[in-house]
Amino acid sequence: MWWKELFFTALYVGYFPVGPGTAGTVLAMAIYFLEYRLFGDFVWIANAVLIALLAWPAVKLGDAGEAFFKKKDPPQVVLDEVLGYWISVLFWPFNWKIAIAAFFLFRMYDMIKPPPIRRFEEKEGGFGIMIDDYLAGVYTNCTLFVAVLILRGFGLNLD
């Protein structure tokens, strides 16, 4: 079971005493940067592969996290923040401005949980743990897309 704990706490970052969800998102951003250093401009492909490989197993790990902590959506389970952040930057070429904007937008959507995210969070088990963060990632990615279009319309470039 130790290996499940390693994953659902995102390398034990979930035990961070203050803001474990934010700490999990910082870890996700660090891994995203590492992916960029390893894969360069193809970072989005590596990111997409990781998401595709981990999205469904993460739901099962969420189930294991609830059983381990004997609590619904325990704060120590932060694998959802990791995957949610990666969805936030999915298909974006690496750029520090995008990475940092995604961090703040994702944390905002994850905390506020605009409709229909809150409804999905109420689902039982690992699905309920993961789906709200996956959707927060989708909201973030869409917000970034619109923001970049608007900024480019004003002649501003993020490079």
Q: pLDDT tens digits for 13-25?
A: 999 999 999 999 9
Distance CA(120)–CA(130), nearest Å, equals 9
Distance CA(85)–CA(89), nearest Å, equals 7
Domain ranges (residues) in the chain: 2-153
Distance CA(158)–CA(73), nearest Å, equals 36
Task: Give the model's pLDDT for residue 16.
Answer: 97
Residues of the chain whose pLDDT is less than 50? Answer: none
Task: Give the model's pLDDT for residue 46.
Answer: 87
Q: What is the pTM of this model?
A: 0.94
Task: Give the model's pLDDT for residue 1.
Answer: 75
